[in-house]
Structure 1
Amino acid sequence: MTSPVWHPFFQHGLNEPIPHVERAEGALLHLAGGGTLIDCIASWWVTTHGHCHPRIVAAIADQAGKLDQLIFAGYTHGPAEEVAQGLVDIAPRAANRDPLAHVFFSDSGSTAVEVALKMALGYWHNRALDGLSEPRHRILVLQHSYHGDTIGAMSVGERGVYNAAWSPLLFDVGTIPFPHAGQEQATLDALEAACAQKPAAFIVEPLILGAGGMLIYPAHVLREMAAICARHDVLFIADEVMTGWGRTGTLFACEQAGVVPDIMAVAKGITGGAIPLAATLASPPIFEAHRSTDRARLFYHSSSYTANAIACAAAAANLAIWREEDVLGRIAALGQGMAQRLARLAEHPAFANPRQLGVIAAIDLIAPDAGYLSDLAPRLRAFAQERGLLLRPLGNTIYLMPPYCLDADQLDRVFAVLQKAGDAFGASA
């Protein structure tokens, strides 16, 4: 019998098999009928400490018996208050910058970005109403970026086959070239010129672009981009949806550049990957621009499940893990193990351009057909799956972003399969 499920980013017309996962624990996914897969990509970059982490599972179960859901428009509950304060406490800080002191909850990375964009435009709209500035509407973006799949998030991401059908709905943006090695100054000059035209905001994935091909740029460039925005009074938005929660080696990628954004979006690992939740953090000026005795100037955004109590309980448990356990130590050890094995893999003639940031590692398989729709990606995915790995290559780019509980034996298995992939696909390329 054909399943009625319509899967995301999956072409059903190709009739590719769809594995049925029955349960998960740590870094392992257990399949119906036996067999396991090592989750090499944290199930789309969300799982941090491992699947079904006991502390997070217990928090979810406990909260489910107390309060499951509450309208958050003018009401509140303990888990949301705890998580909001916890996020403010751990957010990036700097002596010369306004802190990220206000937390707006949502339910996915895309909506967290939508909220960030609406906050930025609302800020300039309300300041114009008060006669404090001219209205500003234009958003600047970084080339090759990805920020989600809702309309606003797609608008500030790279244009391509994955959003071509909806191009009439997307708003125009200013694109800043990616700071490839040796071209960093061109990027900074382009941003300086664009900011001189007084746009509303500049949104970036700090230090590494995810879906754009795991492209890495240095912290000093991120720091200077933020400084340029500050000089021109342009809001700086950091999309830490993927980069947050330790992926880049620090809790948030912005920390490595000493950057405190005006607005920061977080999601994915906020609950350890157990249940959907997201948040957009804003500085006091953003909040104050919306605070008024005039009800017409409130921030018009919400979803039915904003700050869902069960999701917030999971996030509170995740924050406790970060406070009480040496998560960054585990990340450092895992990153070191990945670096050693990646260096050996890079010696294989089928691979090129090895790169790593924290516990994100990527390498390109040399191939004539390297685009997003290359047949190489599904072939690599199937090859890995047959050998016990969950991978999802980006064209010819194979990347790893595993849960932090991945052990040395599992890491050896992962890189052994990648070595075999080089043997199998390198010759045909």
Structure 2
Amino acid sequence: MNNRTIVERDLAVLWHPCSQMKDHERNMPMIPIKSGQGVWLEDFEGKRYLDAISSWWVNLFGHSNPTINEALKAQLDTLEHVILGGFTHQAALELAEKLVEITPPGLDKCFYADNGSSAIEIALKMSFHYWRNLGQIGKTKFITLENSYHGETLGALAVGNVALYKETYGPLLMEVITVPGPDCYYREPDESWEAYSIRRFADMDRALAEHADQACAVIVEPLVQCAGNMRMYHPVYLKLLREACDKYGVHLIADEVAVGFGRTGTLFACEQADISPDFMCLSKGLTGGYLPLSAVLTGNRIYQAFYDDYQNLTGFLHSHSYTGNALGCRAALATIGIFQTEDVLGKNRTLAAAMAKALERFRDHPNVGEIRQTGMIAAIELVKDKQTREAYPWQQRRGLRVYRHALAQGVLLRPLGNVIYFMPPYVITEQEIALMVETAWQGIQLAVQD
């Protein structure tokens, strides 16, 4: 078996996600992967690629992690899956207990689904249904931030604000209230992240004051808007938002699908603002990158609004066939176990510092508008003009040049437009960080040439 054979067979039958398939015939040749070990992926001809983006932000502790492997092997010999409607099993129960233990206070109940978008749909429906059960039928809208992204099912897409994903499907989507965001890329030259985030919160406060009677919830990605070009903001915004949601009687949904499980420097991003949301959505790193699984954590106050006699029809009748899948839950338990037996966050601080040091060389680059970092997430924004921050036309696909160069050098980078970002597995070494960043430097040098 060789790369070419696999690619030919693939293009005959597979339609890949987030792709213009014509690109794979020329601009973005398909990379067939045979195996993975640690931060490295290997194709069918022995070439290796450093997975600098954790395979779409899901992998925490490396490919073929022995701890997670063993947990899955043991679970496979016991139970692979069982309906969770009216049944339960040890892995789902233990994981729910563990998630209630490690998430912020007040998140007492766990509802499972299959992926991040499904978790968002559940949180939206629970919030709406909660107010309906309380007789507040006028609460039907959601407040969201500009540049936000929450997934690609219709409800999740509606509360997002990245035109590339959303615009085509506009006629299918519910109307939402979109508020200018706290994206610190736009702060004044001498303005701190904290000061800018406080200043920008005024827009959210006005929206809540105006729409409190209509709004079910505010939904945000804490600290980092990942698909929105890895734009970042200060934790003070979350603190102010929690206070305002309480003041105006509106739920707070924290979409920690991408930023949870240590990505931002704390186990959950909300911890940096010392807040508890009404709903916390988790997926991606939840299973260490092994299996699709998501969870929505909420509190007893929400739960009690649905707890009633069946005849009153107040129950949350939402389901997925693979809800609480035993293999997924066991992978998640093994992943959380690594956090609890090793000093992962401490080691990540060291790795994040190494990444920051390696990125310093980009600071004075004439085509770098900003270097930004929150924990184990870092990004470089390419611009046509450093002084004005004029962006390159998206049609030029400068980021694609970086992607192609990196692959040739054995590094998997997948820029978001003209933003080159790094979100590697936590088992990366400082030497591998240096390789990753050096490759990005070379790629950017090529990308900015006219």
TM-score calculated relative to the size of structure 2: 0.90
Separation in structure 2 between the aligned mates of residue 249 and residue 11 of structure 1, nearest angstrom: 34
Q: How does 1:36-185 map to 2 (within 5 A)?
A: 36-93=48-105, 99-128=106-135, 133=136, 135-179=138-182, 180=184, 181=187, 183-185=196-198
Would you say 1:308 and 2:308 are equivalent positions?
A: no
Separation in structure 2 between the aligned mates of residue 112 and residue 245 of structure 1, nearest angstrom: 16
Separation in structure 1 between the aligned mates of residue 394 and residue 446 of structure 2, nearest angstrom: 20
Separation in structure 2 between the aligned mates of residue 370 and residue 30 of structure 1, nearest angstrom: 33
Residues 128-167 of structure 1: CA distance to partner in whole angstroms, max 9, x if unpaired?
A: 1xxxx45411100011000001000000001413232221
Would you say 1:29 and 2:41 are equivalent positions?
A: yes
Aligned residue in 1 for 2:407: 385
Separation in structure 2 between the aligned mates of residue 241 and residue 187 of structure 1, nearest angstrom: 24
Separation in structure 1 between the aligned mates of residue 241 and residue 377 of structure 2, nearest angstrom: 23
Residues 36-62 of structure 1: CA distance to partner in whole angstroms, max 9, x if unpaired?
A: 000000000000111111111111111
Aligned residue in 2 for 1:96: none
TM superposition shift of 1:372: 5.6
TM superposition shift of 1:185: 4.5
Separation in structure 1 between the aligned mates of residue 448 and residue 174 of structure 2, nearest angstrom: 41
TM superposition shift of 1:374: 4.5
Q: How does 1:10-409 map to 2 (within 5 A)?
A: 10-14=19-23, 15=25, 16-93=28-105, 99-128=106-135, 133=136, 135-179=138-182, 180=184, 181=187, 183-196=196-209, 197-198=211-212, 199-295=215-311, 296-367=313-384, 370=392, 374-409=396-431
Aligned residue in 1 for 2:16: 7
Whether contact under 8 Å (2:397, 2:418) holds in the other structure is no
TM superposition shift of 1:397: 0.6
Whether contact under 8 Å (2:50, 2:412) holds in the other structure is yes
Separation in structure 2 between the aligned mates of residue 22 and residue 325 of structure 1, nearest angstrom: 30
The 1:264–1:381 alpha-carbon spacing in structure 2 relative to 1, beyond 3 Å, is same
Whether contact under 8 Å (1:208, 1:243) holds in the other structure is yes
Separation in structure 2 between the aligned mates of residue 371 and residue 126 of structure 1, nearest angstrom: 49
Whether contact under 8 Å (1:123, 1:289) holds in the other structure is yes
Percent identity, please. Answer: 38
Residues 40-98 of structure 1: CA distance to partner in whole angstroms, max 9, x if unpaired?
A: 000000001111111111111111111111001111000000100000000013xxxxx
TM-score calculated relative to the size of structure 1: 0.94
Separation in structure 1 between the aligned mates of residue 241 and residue 166 of structure 2, nearest angstrom: 27
Whether contact under 8 Å (1:372, 1:394) holds in the other structure is no
Whether contact under 8 Å (2:149, 2:162) holds in the other structure is no
TM superposition shift of 1:117: 0.4
Whether contact under 8 Å (1:369, 1:376) holds in the other structure is no
Query: Considering only aligned residues, what root-mean-square deviation do their CA atoms show, in Å?
Result: 1.5
For 2:319, give the aligned amino acid. Answer: S
Secondary structure of 1:124's counterpart equals helix
Separation in structure 2 between the aligned mates of residue 255 and residue 46 of structure 1, nearest angstrom: 20
Separation in structure 2 between the aligned mates of residue 372 and residue 393 of structure 1, nearest angstrom: 12
Bigger drift between 219-228 and 342-351 goes to 342-351
Separation in structure 2 between the aligned mates of residue 374 and residue 227 of structure 1, nearest angstrom: 43
Separation in structure 2 between the aligned mates of residue 370 and residue 81 of structure 1, nearest angstrom: 50
Bigger drift between 357-366 and 417-426 goes to 417-426
Separation in structure 2 between the aligned mates of residue 139 and residue 372 of structure 1, nearest angstrom: 30
- Paired residue total: 419
